[in-house]
Every structure is written in structure tokens, then in C-alpha cells.
Amino acid sequence: MLDPLFKKSLTDLRGQVLGWGIGIGFMLALTVALYPSISVAYADVMDQMPEGLMAFLGDDISLDRLEGYISVEFFSYAPVIVAIFAILAGTSSLTGEVTEGTMDLLLAQPLSRVRAATMKLAALVAANVAMLAIMAVGLWVPLAFIDVDAAHLRIVHAFVLLIPFMVAVAFASSLLAQLLGSRMFAGTMVAVVLVASYILEALGNLNSTIGAGRPLYVTAYYQGRQALVSEIEWSYLVTLVLAVPVLAAITVVVFDRRDVGANGLVRLPRLWPKRSTSALS
Amino acid sequence: MSQIPVAAAAVNEQTSANGAAIEFVGLTKRYTGDHLALDSLTLSVPQSSVFGYLGPNGAGKTTTIRLMLDLLRPTSGSVSVFGVDCNADGPAIRGRIGYLPGDLNLYPSFTGESMLRFFGALRENHIRWDYVRDLCGRLDIELDRPTRELSHGNKQKVGIVLALMAEPDLIILDEPTNGLDPLAQHHVMEILREVSARGSTVFFSSHNLSEVEGICDQVAIIRRGRLVAVERVEELTSRTITRVRMTFAAAPAADAFAGVGEAREIRRSDGGRLIELEIAGEVDGAIKAAARHHMVSIETERPSLEDTFLAMYEEGPSAEEGEDA
């Protein structure tokens, strides 16, 4: 029998899971369905593409195969797109319940904070997996109707590798929201880091100095593109997989030790002066 | 609500050695930014009593309650419930506690019934659902509507049932009648008397003096995070100030109420015909003094607890007392 808090937390996310899963799944279905008709034209485009742009997109582009096509058309930017879902879900899980004022009632029940946090994080994992599963349906349904050779196992890998990436982003967002005491601020910070990483990782293909910083770029740890068109870099994947339990443990420990309902644990410096209230005094 | 079998009760029957339900020992809470919300609170709440915890806004009432529930961690000192430190074994202690927050927030998409079922499931269904149905009936709760559609008072009723549904040994209520109509307030007080008679301890935070008088055995008064007094309710009542406004056909003499017990004339207007008195304790002497004159009308006003504080301690609330910490 499912833990009631896990079930409730997962149910809270069902609208987001369905919305994002169906939306991105539909986009994927359309992308795959168009492949047979545009694959020939794509080959011509590739022949005429400037070397710099080719490098920006990555060295392993092979648009004459479906894997190469969806690698460029979807999985190249997938980590940033699906991370938005992970950020929203992550920031709303624990801090959301605190800011909405329902955490007091929840933690007044005979359950430990560790169990509460663990169930919330477990629901985040399940929601991310469910969202990816819905997306995957969007990719495979049109494949049943078009005559294209596809390396199904590589595509499965690309999807499966999104799971630790999304979960790590969700956990990091949840942790940061607790530390800062603000869902919006935490979500914005994670999103900025992701977009900056994505841009720097792409520019790293053009510039060796920027490329040398690749281990610092968060999006580099998603190895889905490599799984589709080349080989996985195991050091990145292992680091990502190890990051998930570490982030989960830190999130649970921070939640267990903090004052519930108080401000964030990190006090940020004020960037602009407090608005004057002299008119009221 | 469908019938759910009663699960075997598995509550911890441990109690404190001195028979106290709650014991605060030097409990102090200092928030980030150096705000001292609670200062060395030492207090013992007897078992099976109805204990009022009173104080103006920002006095530290909610902080005390949140420390008891382990939602906040003390800066120093300790609080134990039934002899067990709240920090050491929170889940076991909270299994014996029912809690109504002062600022109650329910899951907006849940109906009243799904709220009760969810929190019942968190307590592993150690719930007598017949009792819950009875409570819902007495408070006239709409169980089938999402809580976001309920009025403040109806949400409060759901919160009260959530606090009482597990028939806990200790019930902590932060402003329980806030937003309730007089009839619902009456029912809530009646229910609390019943649960107290069955042996549960009720820890009750309120601003409402008449409510406190009606139900509490003993009260603690807190101000600016410090315990000011712990008194029997009768003692507090005897120190309560009553305001009386009397209109006479002709102005009584200037010293008409001089030396009448604890009465103090605070205002005289309309050519001396309208007199306002503040009376500490019994009003008998003042009424007898007034009866010597032709009285046209009389109005009495029971002051708020805040007014009582002002009279008792003869100083106004501090500017530091902003939000209810």
C-alpha cells in the first residue's frame, strides 16, 4: 500500500506531469512524424552548413539517421526544457507546503520530518519518471506508422538518462528553495545556471578555453545525445548518478534540522534599499 | 462517510513522573536577527486540565506551541510532553497530540472528507470514524465541498475536527473559535468540556477572555516572551476590570462613587448625567451606590483581555510587539 503522503504528493503533481508530458510528447510526435519527409532535405542542409555552426551543434551529427535527427531536433535542448518541469516541481515540494502554510498541520502528525521529506522527494522522482514516460509515448507512437530504421535501445538510453538529470535538478531546486526561503528565487537561480551551462557547453565546441570548463557545465552531465549518436562519457554519468543521493541526503538533513516556517537559512544581502514607509508614519 | 474498522489503539501511555502533561523548563527561542520570541519559559501544565495560554499579539504564544510540536527548535531549555522531550521523540509524542494552528491552512483541492481521510491515514487509521461523524454532525461541517470553497468559519470547523479526530491525550488549540459563529463557538466549547472530562488535557491559546473564563481551569499569561503570571481562572476573573456606563436623570454628586470598593470614575459628561466607571472585581458596591440616584440607563462592557493586561500591569503594549511570533 502506498504511503499516504507519497500518494498525496504525487497527486499534487499530476496536473503538471500530464500537462508537460502530453505537451512535449506531442511536440516529439510531430518531430518524428516529419522525419521521413524532411530527412533528404536535411542531408542537403548538412552538406552546406558552415563548419562553425556544425561545431556549435556538436561533432557527432548524423541527420541521415533518426537518432541523429532527434538528437539535434530534441535531445540537444531537452535538458533545459524538461528541467523547467523539474525546477517547478522541486521548488514546490517542501518549500511550497511551508509557504502555503500546510506544513504545520502535516508535521503535527506522528510522522518524522525525515519521512515527510523522503516521501516528498520520492514523489518528485515518480513524477519525473511519469512525465518522461508520457513524453516517450509521444516519440514511439509515430514510429509505428512510418517506415524508418531506428536504434530503439539508443533512444531508450537517451530517455532513461534524462531521469537522473531531472531528479538532480528537482532535488537541487528543492534544496535551494529551503536555503533561500523563496521558491521563485531558487527556481530562477537554477534556471539561470542551466541556461548558462547550455550556452557555454555549446560554445565549448567552438572555443577550447570555454570547452576546458565543461565539467563545470551542468548540462554536460546529461549524456543522452552521446547515447544516441556516439558513446556515453561514463565519468559524467557516474558523477550525475552519485549527485542524486547526495542532494537528496542534504535536502532531507536541512529539512530535518531547520525551523519550519522561518525564513531561509541563507540571508542574502539586500540589493536595493528598503522602500520608505515615511508616508505611513 | 463510510465505515472504517477501528484499528487497535497503539498510543504510548507513558506519562511524566509529576503528573504534568506539559513541562517547559527554561525554554528560550531567539529567531535569526536576534529577536527574542520566548525568554526562559518555565511552566507546568497539569494533566486532564483545560489550560489557557493568554497574551497579546506577538507575546510568544504561537512560538511556544510550535516549539511543543517540534516545528521550531529551542535556542535553549526544553519542553516535554507526557515526560518525553519533544525534540527527542517527536513522532511518538505527536501521536498523542491533536493540533489546531492559529493560522489554519487546508489543502485547497481536498474536500473536508478527504482532509479527514488523509490525516486519518497518516495516523494509520487509529481513528473511531463514528466519533468523527458525530463531531462533524455537531459542528454542521460540509464534508463534500473542496476546502477552497469553504468560508473561514467552516474551514476552522474542519481544523477543529482534525485536531480532535484521533481522540488525543493532549489537544493544542491556537485561537480555536476564531471566525466561528456564536452557535459553533458554543458547540466547540461543549465538545472541549467533554474531551476534558474524559481525561484529555487541553492547551488553549486565546485572546477571548469570556471563552477562557468559560472553560479553563488555569491560565498562564505571557507578555513579550516572558511568563507574567500563572493563575486560577477565578483569580484572574476577580482582577478583571468591568466598564459601566450609567445615565442619570440628574447629575449625582462629584463624590458619589468615591470610596466604593474598586470603582474608579473615568469620565463624566452631559452635564454630569453620564458617568463611566471602571470596576475591578465585584460590581455590587457601585450598583448600590448608583441605585441611590434616579438612573435612566446602564450599560456594561466586558473589556478585552488586552484591556485587562493594561489594567493589570499598567503599561501599554510595546512597539516591539508586532506580529504574533
pLDDT score recorded for residue A281 = 41
B256: helix, strand or coil? coil
In B, which residues are within 8 Å of A6 by CB distance? none
Residue B280 forms contact with A (CB below 8 Å): no
Looking at residue B106, which CATH number applies to its domain? 3.40.50.300
Asked whether residue A269 is domain-assigned, the answer is no
Q: How far apart are CA A23 and CA A34, in angstroms?
A: 17
In-domain check, residue B91: yes
Residue that terminates a domain, selected from B197, B214, B232: B232
Higher pLDDT: B138 or B283? It is: B138
Ranges assigned E (strand) in B110-262: 170-174, 201-206, 218-223, 226-232, 241-248
CB within 8 Å of A109: residues ≥ 6 apart: B94, B119, B122, B123
User: Using the beta-carbon criterion (under 8 Å), do B101 and A104 form an inter-chain contact?
Assistant: yes
CA distance A50 to chain B (A): 54
A234-238 contacts at long range (C-beta below 8 A, 24 or more positions apart): A237/A161, A237/A164
pLDDT at A205 exceeding the cut of 80: yes
Inter-chain touch A105–B119, beta carbons under 8 Å: yes
**Mean pLDDT computed over B93-98:** 94
Distances in whole angstroms, Cα of residue A213 to Cα of each of A218, A235, B213, B277: 11, 15, 70, 81
Q: In what order do the strands lie in the sheet with B218-223?
A: B97-100, B170-174, B201-206, B50-54, B218-223, B226-232
Separation CA A28–CA A70 (nearest Å): 8
User: For the whole prediction, is pTM greater than 0.90?
Assistant: no
- Indicate if B296 and B201 belong to the same structural domain: no
Domain that holds residue A8: 4-257
How far apart, in whole angstroms, are the C-alpha atoms of residue B87 and residue B71? Answer: 9
Read off the pLDDT of each residue in B71-77 and give the average, rounded to a whole number.
94
Percent residues over pLDDT 70 in chain B = 86
For the stretch A105-117, pLDDT in tens is 999 999 999 999 9
- Number of folded domains that form chain B: 2
Tell me the pLDDT of chain B averaged across its residues.
84
Relative to beta strand B170-174, strand B241-248 is: unpaired
Pairwise CA distance, residues A63 & A43, whole Å: 7
Based on its alpha-carbon atoms, the radius of gyration of chain A, rounded to whole angstroms, reads: 21
- Say if A278 falls within a structural domain: no
pLDDT at A124 over 70: yes
Co-location of B179 and B137 in the same domain: yes
> For residues A78 and A226, is the Cβ–Cβ distance under 8 A?
no
Q: Taking residues A12-39, report their average pLDDT.
A: 92
Q: B64 with B45, same domain?
A: yes
Which CATH number do you get for residue B271?
3.30.70
Any domain includes A54: yes
In this structure, of A149-158, B15-24, B25-34, the range with the lowest mean pLDDT score is B15-24
Say whether both B212 and B271 belong to one domain.
no
Q: Which residue of A has its CA nearest to B107?
A: A102
Determine the pLDDT at residue B9: 35
| Cβ neighbours of A113 in B, within 8 Å | 90
pLDDT of residue A263: 59
The segment with the largest mean pLDDT, out of A31-40, A44-53, A272-281, B103-112, is B103-112
Q: Which of B63, B66, B173 to mutate to test the interface with A (most CBs of A within 10 A)?
A: B66
Residue B215 has pLDDT above 70, yes or no: yes
Report the gap between the CA of A78 and the closest CA in chain B (Å). 32
Backbone dihedral angles phi then psi of residue A171, each to the nearest 5 degrees: -65, -40
Euclidean distance between CA atoms A116 and A183, whole angstroms:
19
Contact A170, A86 (CB under 8 A): yes
Last residue of a domain, one of B212, B232, B252: B232
Pair A58, A205: CB distance under 8 Å: yes
The answer to whether B69 contacts A108, with C-beta atoms less than 8 Å apart, is yes
Mean pLDDT of B52-71: 90
Has residue A156 been placed in a domain?
Answer: yes
Contact A259 B123 (CB under 8 A): no
Pick the residue of A13, A92, A105, A258 with the most B CBs within 10 A to test the interface with B by mutation. A105
Does one domain contain both B91 and B172? Answer: yes
Decide: B97 and B81 in contact? Cβ < 8 Å: yes
Lowest-pLDDT range of A153-167, B104-118, B277-291: B277-291
| Contact check, Cβ <8 Å, A110/B95 | yes
Together in a domain, B250 and B266? yes
For residue B140, the tally of other CB atoms under 10 A from its CB is 11
| Per-residue pLDDT at B313 | 55
pLDDT of residue B156: 96
Residue A265 inside a domain? The answer is no
| ipTM (interface pTM) | 0.84
Rounded to the nearest integer, the mean pLDDT of chain A is: 88
- B288 and B225, same structural domain? no
Reported confidence tier of residue A61, pLDDT bands at 50, 70, 90: low
User: Does B80 lie in the same domain as B117?
Assistant: yes
- Least Cα distance to A107 among A116, A94, A95 occurs for A116
The pLDDT of residue A243 is: 97
> Is residue B12 situated within a structural domain?
no
pLDDT at residue A262 in the model = 59
Structure confidence by residue, pLDDT tens digits, A64-85: 788 888 988 899 888 999 999 9
Q: Say if A93 falls within a structural domain.
A: yes
Put simply, the answer to whether B69 touches A107 (Cβ < 8 Å) is yes
Please give the Cα distance from A192 to B283 (Å, whole number). 70
**Residues B73 and B209 occupy one common structural domain:** yes
pLDDT computed for residue B4 by the predictor: 35
Q: Is A1 on the interface with B (CB under 8 A)?
A: no
**Boundary (domain end) residue, out of B197, B232, B267:** B232
How far CA A76 is from CA of A219, A259, B323, in Å, comes to: 10, 41, 50
| Residues B255, B116 share a domain | no
Count contacts between A and B (CB, < 8 Å).
Answer: 72
Residue A239 belongs to some domain of the structure: yes
- The DSSP bridge pattern shows strands B201-206 and B170-174 to be parallel
Domain presence at residue A264:
no
What residues make up the domain containing B183? 20-232
Residues 180-239 of B with CB under 8 A from A: none
User: Residue A261: what pLDDT?
Assistant: 76
Closest CB to B107: pick one of A102, A111, A257.
Answer: A102
Q: Which residues pair with B223 in a beta bridge?
A: B226
Residue located via cell numbers 516521501: A119
First to last CA, chain B: 38
Is A163 within 8 Å of A243 (Cβ atoms)? no
Q: Which residue has the cell 442619570?
A: B248
Q: How many domains does chain A have?
A: 1
Taking residues A180-195, what's their average pLDDT?
94
Query: CA torsion sign, B216 to B221 to B225 to B226?
Result: negative
Residue B115: pLDDT band (50, 70, 90) is very high
What is the residue whose three cell numbers read 525546477?
A87
* CA–CA separation, B91 and B70 (whole Å): 9
Model confidence band, residue B7 (pLDDT cutoffs 50, 70, 90): very low
